Structure 1
Amino acid sequence: MKYAKNILETIGNTPLVQLNKIAESIDAMVLAKVETFNPGNSVKDRMAVKMIEDAEADGRLKPGGTIIEGTSGNTGMGLALGAIVKGYKLICVISDKQSKEKIDILRAVGAEVVVCPTDVEPTDPRSYYSVSKRLAEETPNAWYVNQYDNPSNAIAHYEQTGPEIWEQTEGKITHFVVGVGTGGTISGVSKYLKEKNPNVKVWGIDTYGSVFKKYHETGIFDENEVYSYITEGIGEDILPKNVDFSLIDGFTKVTDKDAAVYTRKLALEEGIFVGNSAGAAVKGLLQLKDEFKPGDVVVVLFHDSGSRYVGKMFNDDWMRERGFLDEEITKAGDLIKNHADRPLVMARTEELVSHAIERMRKHKISQIPVADTTGFVGSVNETVLFHAYMEDKDIADKPIKDFMGAPYPLVNANTSLEEVSKLIDKDNQAVLVDLGDGKHHIITKHDIIGAIK
């Protein structure tokens, strides 16, 4: 009988799949190493189990111990599988930018999940780096994994992923392309491939808001390069010890939008349902196409499964809110079509200022039109109310008509975006769109900015 004695024995030997339509502009064979076929649905299963086994071997992880790690989700899943099979507790510390699916999955496999803010410095006591270290110090019989600096991370890929790719391509691989986060995958695979053939070129995919590309090219760790970004699983605001820059030939950066768009393209054009870093890797691959020539064999690694991004990149509303959907917006009706069914938030002239304030607070808006029995006769915004309050602390109980400004210009749904934009200035904060049948909607500067591609 052929069977695995436990789920950990099914890790590895993932397939190499040719990319066709999405890579048709590249003059080389492009093969994807699809790591979602691992039991935890990501490449991180490999190094998670390797780190556990090495820690067991040298006594850092003792029977009945607690494993603690800061993770973007995938390493946590791999650690969870190891913890279940081997009988350990697991605490995963994760940043709040990670998808809800990742957090829910970790809890489903028994991990305790601690969520930390993303927009803090790595040294901030609230960062997921700092919280992980603190929990490891405070928890009895605990082992802090530290995948960023743990050498077992890169060794796992040197021992497993690299040899698999070499064998599957029969040694014909000429280029390896992969997103870089902790650095274990790119460094371990690169070390193995370059030992087999020093001419193999290795390219890292970075994201805007990360330090890798500039540091590789200049040796300068530029804190001005660091800012919040959406793409998950790649890029860092630190320099992990597992990133061996001497083994990497170059980096290319991919925007959040392109990473998200190409994540969806992979599903629609290749039938490969993989995660956000795979989209970034494919877009990076296309940016690098001049590096490849006929006869080359290019391997790009896809880290994880699309199931972890259903509420993000694979959700139209999430994509639309961030301006990631390539929808043609040329007229007023296009700007409001996704929320035209919602009622217009407005106020009546005789209502109290407190009513307007309550509505603005409830709907998180900064301006509303004002109407009477004849139609729209004015407008009120938070700036006007703020200045009025500074002069009179009792304005809340006074009628809105005493503080309203001029009514917003009225346009129809076919008015061009250019004309709408001209109507919004420092003295006029919004435009009303007449949808017919007595229905109206509002366009603000926020809507115009959201339409910028």
Structure 2
Amino acid sequence: MDVHESLLELIGDTPLVRLRTPGDDHSARLYAKLEYLSVGGSVKDRIALRMIEDAERRGLLKPGGTVVEASSGNTGVGLALVAAAKGYRAVIVIPDKTSAEKAATLRALGAEVVVRPGMLPIDHPDQVVNTATRLAAEIPGGWMAAQYDNPANPEAHYATTGPEIWQQTEGRITHLVCCVGTGGTISGTGRYLKEVSGGGVRVIGADPDSSVYSGGDGRPYFVEAAGRWRHPETPEDCWPASFHQEVVDEILPVTDRESIMTIRRTARESGLLVGGSAGTALAAARRVAAGLGPDDLVVAVLPDSGKQYLSKYFDDGWLLRLGFLDGDPATVRVADALTDGERARPLPYLHRHRTVGEALAELRAREAAGAEPVLPAGPAPVGPSRRPTAPELVGAVRLVELDEAVAAGRVGPDQSLDEQLGAPLPQFGGGESAEQALATLRSAPDATAVVLHDGHAVGLVTEEQLRAALGRP
């Protein structure tokens, strides 16, 4: 009978499908490795099985034990699935930016989900990895999978993904394109393909453009399960041991917008519904293939399904709110209320660890200049032109509230501003309707809002500016 004794036998062995674009008869052939067709829905099924079986062999995970991991979702789903099949308990710690679909999938598989803020420096006790490490130590029989540093992560791909691609392409592959997250997929798969081809396969990483892997400043980005961000208050960032940098020949940066628009277009033109990191890989792979000839063969690994992101990358409302969609040009949009100079200048915002006295001086200067005496607050900027992302603006500082706190003796001018942050300012995507934004600001405590473009804060807009853009007195 053509049957399987366990769903664990359905992990991996995913197909390759050719992606065609106009004019590709004269460029390299491009194939996609559809990892979302693995039983658990992502490339992380492979490492989940390998890490758990390795822990069993070494006596680290015993019957009745608990699998613990920090994950943006996919590794957690893979671990929860394998744990369920093998009779283990699973506790998965996820950042709060993880899609609702992933969190729901984890719970459906019986995992206990612990949510922690994603915007914490690496040495903070509540950071996701630190939380998972602590839970693994506290839970009797707990075992921390530690995907970022577990050798079984890249070894899973060396043993399975690499050989599958080599066999499926009959050894004709010339270029491999993978996202870099933990680094396990590109390291294990790339090492195998380089060895079996005698160094003939070129290995290329695809990375969010602000990720430190591709030389970015580490600011947050909106593509899940790829890249590496660095909190500006993290003193030292050690890259994962699962990422073998010597295997990778080149890393190509890809913007969030390009990744997102790539998967939306791919779904409508090719019927492939894939996730954001797959868009990063596809965008880079198309770039690579365009510069090659018909004798070359490019394989892009697509990590997971778009079904996990229907509330994000495929939701026009979500994209419009963050400024990834430009809105209707026939209407007055929020961005139309900003002048060219305002768009070009870095967003004025306060570092949350500045002193109260410094904040008061800046707010009074704004008031004297005729601007609203309120500013968003966030972490320290990495550079003078850095634009913070929407999640980084964790609060706002208002002159009236700060003056009252000083007058009442609750805070002194030399104290940190961090404890005095008020509610964040409203945020609007640049493509949103100016009419609707104005209606929101009328009922808001401040007459000022943050304007977003591609998830980054690009300026402040006031009720007065919106009225002017709409031609209202």
Same fold (TM over 0.5): yes
Contact 1:158/1:192 (CA < 8 Å) preserved in 2?
Answer: yes
SS at 1:129 equivalent: helix
Partner of 2:68: 68
Whether the aligned pair in 2 keeps the contact of 1:264 and 1:314 (CA below 8 Å) is yes
| 1:23–1:30 Cα contact (<8 Å) kept | no
Q: Is the 8 A contact 2:42 2:305 kept in 1?
A: yes
TM-superposed CA distance for 1:234, in Å, is: 0.5
Q: Residue 149 of structure 1 corresponds to which residue in structure 2? A: 149
Partner amino acid for 1:280? T
Deviations 1:104-160 (A, max 9, x none): 110010000111111111221111111111111111111000001101111110010
Query: Residues 388 and 293 of structure 1: is their aligned pair in 2 closer, same or farther, counting only changes over 3 Å?
Result: closer
Hey, what does 2:269 align to over in structure 1? 269
Q: 2:102 is matched by which residue type in structure 1?
A: K
2:29–2:289 CA contact under 8 A, matched in 1:
no
Residue 153 to residue 93, structure 1, CA distance change in 2 (3 Å): same
Q: Which residue of 2 aligns with 1:218?
A: none
Please state how far the C-alpha of 1:47 moved relative to its aligned partner: 0.9
> Map of 1:276-425 to 2, 5 A cutoff?
276-289=276-289, 291-327=291-327, 329=329, 331-332=331-332, 334=333
Report the counterpart of residue 200 of structure 1 in structure 2.
Answer: 201
Query: SS of 2:41's equivalent?
Result: coil
**Could you tell me how far 1:256 is from its partner in structure 2?**
1.3
SS of equivalent residue, structure 2 residue 266: helix
Partner of 1:404: none
**What amino acid maps onto 2:202 in structure 1?**
K
Contact 2:48 2:82 in 1 (8 A): yes
Paired with 2:57 and 2:159, the residues of 1 have a C-alpha distance of 17
Match of 2:217 in 1: 225
Q: Displacement of 1:429 after TM fit?
A: 3.8
Q: Following TM superposition, by how much is the alpha carbon of 1:236 offset from its aligned partner in structure 2, in angstroms?
A: 1.5
Following superposition, the deviation at residue 212 of structure 1 comes to: 1.1
1:171 aligns with 2:207: no
Distance 1:125 1:22 in 2: 51
Cα displacement (A) at 1:329: 2.5
- Aligned residues of 1:22 and 1:269 also touching (Cα < 8 A): no
Asked whether the equivalents of residues 28 and 290 of structure 2 are also in contact (C-alpha less than 8 Å), the reply is no
Q: Structure 1 residues 256-265 or 32-41, which shifts more?
A: 256-265
Displacement of 1:430 in angstroms is 3.1
Cα distance in structure 1, aligned partners of 2:99 and 2:67: 22
Task: Provide the secondary structure at the position in 2 that maps to 1:33.
Answer: strand
Pair 328,434 (structure 1): closer, same or farther in 2 beyond 3 Å: closer
Post-superposition Cα deviations, 1:417-447, rounded to whole Å, max 9, x if no partner, equal xxxxxxx999944316779xxxx8x9xxxxx
Instruction: Write out per-residue CA displacement over residues 207-258 of structure 1, whole angstroms, 9 at most, x where no aligned residue.
Output: 13321123xxxxxxxxx82221111000124411011111000001111111
How far 1:26 sits from its partner (Å)?
Answer: 7.6
Residues 425 and 312 of structure 1, relative CA distance in 2, 3 Å threshold? closer
| Pair 1:68–1:25, CA change in 2 (3 A) | farther
Offset of residue 294 of structure 1: 2.1
Question: What is the deviation of 1:288?
Answer: 3.1
Partner Cα distance (1:257, 1:89) in 2 = 38
Determine which structure has more spread, i.e. the larger CA radius of gyration: 1
Counterpart Cα distance in 2 of 1:256 and 1:389: 36
Q: What per-residue deviation string (whole Å, max 9, x for no partner) do you get for residues 28-63 of structure 1?
A: 100000011111110110110011001001101011
Could you tell me how far 1:305 is from its partner in structure 2?
0.7
Match of 2:97, SS state, is coil
Moved more, 14-23 or 168-177: 14-23
Q: TM-score, normalised by structure 2?
A: 0.70
Distance across 2 between alignment mates of 1:326 and 1:22: 26
Q: Structure 1 regions of 5+ residues with no counterpart?
A: 215-223, 338-379, 394-411, 414-423, 443-453
Q: Distance in 1 between matches of 2:399 and 2:47?
A: 56
Cα distance between partner residues in 1 of 2:304 and 2:89: 24
Aligned-partner residue type, residue 324 of structure 1: F
Contact 2:30 2:289 in 1 (8 A): no
Q: 1:132 and 2:132 equivalent?
A: yes
**Across the two proteins, how many residue pairs are aligned to each other?**
356
When the two chains are superposed, the root-mean-square deviation of aligned CA atoms in Å is 3.0
Query: Is the Cα–Cα contact under 8 Å of residues 35 and 303 in structure 2 kept in the other structure?
Result: yes
| Equivalent residue number for residue 19 of structure 2 | 19
TM-score (normalised: structure 1)? 0.73
Q: What is the match of residue 85 of structure 1?
A: 85
**Structure 2, unpaired ranges of 5+:** 230-237, 337-370, 375-397, 408-433, 436-459
1:388: how far off? 11
Which residue of the partner structure matches residue 7 of structure 1?
A: 7
Q: 1:94, 1:113 within 8 Å by CA — same for their partners in 2?
A: yes
Match of 1:212 in 2: 213
- 1:430 aligned residue: 466
* Structure 1 counterpart SS, 2:193: helix
